[in-house]
Amino acid sequence: MNLNDYVDVPTRFAALLAKWPELRIKEHRPEIVTIGDKTFISVTMQAWRTPDDPQPCQATCFEPFPGKTSFTRDSEQMNASTSCLGRLAGLMMSFPKMASLEEVQNRQTQPATAKPWQVSEGQRRLLKALGHAGEIPDGRVAFEALVADLKAKKMTDGEAF
């Protein structure tokens, strides 16, 4: 399965913060929900773009309990929270796919085949939002270092991030 079109949750969250520096996220208390003969952990989050946001965005995610794979078992709550944050970001901004990279990976019975890392469209938009117009690094570590440097520069220049 090609995962290149999926944007991971940390990248989505960074894009939200770049667009709305005063962003505030609230995660509500998780609930155990039974639908038919299946049990889920339900997580709901809200996001206020600004302190006076009259209509916060809201998302809810369900994670099967117990987890169905070795990657989700005993981490259901954390996976539900991560998925919910990724979905919330997907409702607030446009990404190539609504599901986050983590959501897709958590549904695989075996780990996805590792492919060379490539910058996604969402990551390109993040660099643009941070004011980067130069060459895009070809490795994940270099990309993350560039994003950290751009954020630090914005803060040094007195811009909120």
132-154 pLDDT, tens digit per residue, is 888 888 777 778 778 878 887 87
What is the structure's pLDDT at 137? Answer: 80
Mean pLDDT taken over the chain: 82
pLDDT at position 5 over 60? yes
Which H helix or E strand runs over 31?
strand 31-35
Confidence class for position 107, pLDDT limits 50, 70, 90 = low
Distance CA 126, CA 128 (A): 5
Q: Closest Cα to residue 95, out of 16, 26, 160, 27?
A: 16
Task: Supply the pLDDT for residue 88.
Answer: 92
* pLDDT over threshold 80, residue 106: no
Average pLDDT over residues 61-90: 86
The angle, 0 to 180 degrees and rounded to 10, between the axes of the packed helices 121-129 and 140-156 is 20
What pLDDT was estimated at residue 61? 92
At residue 22, what is the residue type? E
98/48: higher pLDDT: 48
Once rounded to an integer, what is the mean pLDDT over residues 59-69?
A: 88
Q: Give the pLDDT of residue 102.
A: 64
pLDDT at 43: 95
Q: Model confidence over 12-48: pLDDT tens digits? A: 899 899 999 999 999 999 999 999 999 999 999 999 9
